[in-house]
Amino acid sequence: MEKKFYTYIILTVDNTLYCGYTDDPKSRFEKHKAGLAAKYTRSHKPLKMVYIKEFATKSEAMKEESRIKKLTRKQKEELVKSSSLYQY
């Protein structure tokens, strides 16, 4: 079984969007909620994961994260709306 990698977007309680990548989305989200992941999500508490996309390699997931971070808020919202996790 090959390892998978994921790019994800989290909606925070103050209505901001945080983007990252991981090989275990569930565990990573739990770390964000516990304040043990990114510095950003320590002060902007995670509410829910609203977008996730699977990749075969870490490099692909990181490239997608970089691409998403360059998008405008409106573009990120449109990306989230296209996700099966969409719950805004």
Evaluate the CA torsion angle 13, 17, 21, 25 in order and state its sign. Answer: positive
pLDDT band with cut points at 50, 70 and 90 for residue 84 = confident
Question: What pLDDT is recorded for position 35?
Answer: 93
What are 11-67's pLDDT values in tens digits? Answer: 999 999 999 999 999 999 999 999 999 999 999 999 999 999 999 999 999 999 999
Q: Is the pLDDT of residue 3 over 60?
A: yes
Structure tokens at 64: 């997608």
In 3D, which of 34, 30, 33 has the Cα closest to residue 46? 33
Torsion of CA 37, 43, 48, 49, to 10 degrees: -50
How many residues would you count in the chain? 88
Q: Which residue has the higher pLDDT, 85 or 46?
A: 46
List the alpha helices (DSSP H) in the chain: 25-33, 39-43, 58-69, 73-81
Structure tokens at 80: 């989230």
pLDDT band with cut points at 50, 70 and 90 for residue 1 = confident
Please give the model's pTM, rounded to 2 decimal places: 0.91
